[in-house]
Structure 1
Amino acid sequence: MTIRRQWLIMLTLTAILAIVVNTIILSSLINQYFQTYTTGEYNKSLSQIKSFSKMALSQNNMTTQQIEAQLASYLNDPVTRITLYNADGSVIVNVGIDMSNMNNMMSGMMRGREVGTFSQEVDRTELRDSGISIGTVNVTHYSSIGDSLTSVMFRSALIRNSLLSFVIVLALLVMIGLFVSRRLSRDLRGTSFMALNIDLGNQADIPFSKIREVRIIQQSLKELKSRLKLKQMGRKRLIDEMVHQTRTPLTILKTHLEGFQDGVIDVTSEEIKTCEMQIENVSSIISNMSHLLDTEKEVSPLSIEEFDFSHLLRRILAGLKLQFDQKQVALSLMSHEKITVKTDLYKLSQSIYNILTNAYKFTQPGRKVEIFLQTDEKMLSIEIKDTGAGISLEEQKHLFEAYYKGSNAQAVPGEGLGLYVVKQNLEQIGGTIRVESALGQGSNFIIRIPMTL
């Protein structure tokens, strides 16, 4: 059985039960209140009849017609007859309602019920004046106030209106139930469609349901979809990072080998060490990425060691110098003091390589790139300043996002991962990076890392 059908059955049964219980209780309370009210009105009329009859007999200044007319005014349901006797028992006035018409009306109201079953009784009251009996008044009424015409009509109208209300409310509830169940089933079908498409890897965006429980399921599915997408993007980003990071050392190796072949570079031990360093970089990149893909982690573990940063920086510049010279861009280290740091050598060197490679791409021939170093008790500051194209303030906000390329970098080869990798690496070793730049005025990247991690 579908949820929609179960919902309709449950709603209908609940509505019927609620309406029946409510009708029974309200009808009982209203009928009880009406009976009390009718009884009170009868007692009030009876008291007025007694008072008038006593006055009429004691004053003896009213004609029979006047007395009859006045008593006839008290013939209101449930009173059916009033008879007034004098002291010797003679009838003075006898007024009443035509019972044949009354029975016809009541039989019409109470279908199937015999008219003769409406019994009557008499309230007999002796009238006295100064202790002397002056007459008697008999008030005939229905034996039960509930058998009065008014009571019968009231109960009949109450039952009719209750049934009418029951039908109207039930019809409204069924219509509302159909609307709600259609909406619920639609949202559930949409949720099922969403789950199926997530499983198949298809795009399936549906509006969130206004039903809280269904909306929670949809939000969970959307979050699951986002996590799966992030996981896929993470794998792609790892591969892209590996490709991007291997490009620099491979380019340096290629440049040096061409230099050796053309005789531009002498085969010295220092140049061989530079090439060996690039091979080690490629090996480290492949090893790290292989480990990350196997363990499905987003960052590689740190390898902390103490080393001479000045020496590392000179080796990096030696590897890149030939490229810069070929483009006629001056690459200079402006600080030559010996600096020892304790951190992850690979992540720091890769970050500097990426920034210098970017500076190489965006600095025009005849301009320069300079590196400044500054230390305090705990931090090392590295400033890499170029005189290239510069970066707008708006683009600086997105500069370190993965796959982001600025307006002046669209025609430049690359995936837009270099600065993203820089930031990730520096954050892992407790460092920071910021940029100061303006269009046409070059860029200044400032790195700060702890001297000891």
Structure 2
Amino acid sequence: MPAASIRRHLQATSLLAVLAGYVVLLLVNRQLSNRLRYERHLAQVAATRSSLERLAPSDVDSPAKLQELLTELATPSLMVWMVWLEPTPVQGPPVLLPVGHLFQDYSTAHPLISAAASELQQSSEPHSFRLHGRTYFTSAIPIRLAGRSYQLRFIEDFSLQLAQEHQLHLLLVAVAGVSALFTSALLRLVIHRGLLPLDAFSRTLSGISSNSLGTDRLSLAGQPLELHPIGAAFNGLLDRLSESWDHQRTFVNGVSHELRTPITLIAGYSRRLLRHVDHLDATQAEQLQLVASEAESMGRLVNDLLEIARDDAGRLQLECRQLDPYALLSEQVDRLQPTSDQRLRLRPAASGYAEVSADPERLAQCLSNLVENALKYSPAGSPIELALSSDASDVVFHVIDHGSGVPEAERESIFERFSRGSSAAEVSGHGIGLAVVKTLMERMGGRALVRAAPGGGADFQLRLPAVLSTPVEERHSRSAGLRRWFNPA
């Protein structure tokens, strides 16, 4: 599941809150309109009843007079009529309707009067009903005039009011949509400005490296109060990391220096004893050879640890100069051949290759680590090929083995410290050699990588920028007498 964005979450939540506010506004407006309509109807009913009750008995003692009064009280939108609750045959019909031009079509059989009568039988309280697409309010109240009991009935047509309210609601919805868009744009700006301190924190954190753990800290000056606890926690974490990092560097540097002397002595004396192998039996010679080999391997590990410690402390010094890459590669093959069971093969160099600018000792150390790595992870007796190539911008040193290769998913991680590939389970190692190669190559302006070799295996490459300052003809006349830069002991 993809990670959620705080900006989008805040913007969406704020926008939903605004829209919810508009919905509540519309609902409240609708309820208020219904309530106002109900109270206005009650007020008209009360006023009509009060007007009738104030009349003298002589003004309401006959149905004709009552019908004339109802005609005066009724309007085109308000129909008022009465039902005589105790009629007698000589006193006329029980239903008294307004008379006149506006109400000449109304009778007890009129659909509106019939529908209202049916509604009032269920409840005389004010309530609405629909008829032929229009909406009406109806109610009924008892009234006594001139000693007679009547039921005063009302029908109010408020279809026009509902249509106006509907148009008003549509207008409010349109205004809400436009306001939501405006609010969204404004919220985007406000949220962006509000999260700028977090962006500043992120930039500061991304710029902190192992070399700046002791100096870089998050500044809390001018930051919002909500970020002060976060900044204080990060600064505390950086303090602890800096202290731990200093302890680690001191330990690695001290242990590496302390181990160099005994390892050098063991390697030196074992090689000196091997010169007198004629005085030893086969078992002793084999054991002595194993001691010398392991001492050299430990010497290389100590040197690698020293390089890492120097780089972490910012004290890694390089003496880069322009050199012939193929001459360096040839000398490394000659130097490493005795310790590789004669498995190294040097391919001829193509004409026209460029020179490089590098520290010859560090570059030789990188090649030694790659050759040692290839010897470990390739079948016994299979050749290890070394080659030189170039392209438009780089000179490339190749160390090619014929082992199982490196899976594509692991081609970056194997160059990290203490990281080993999935095929390294049964091979001894510390996960340091390739990390040192990567570090040294980056400090010399190059890079280290691995590709699949043609026909199977791994092609480890050291890439350095080409330096085209020496004619090709002069390269082959250079002396190959380069010094032996790297001494594992």
Length-normalised TM-score, structure 1: 0.41
Mark the structure with the bigger radius of gyration.
1
TM-score by length of 2: 0.38
Give the structure with the higher percent helix.
1
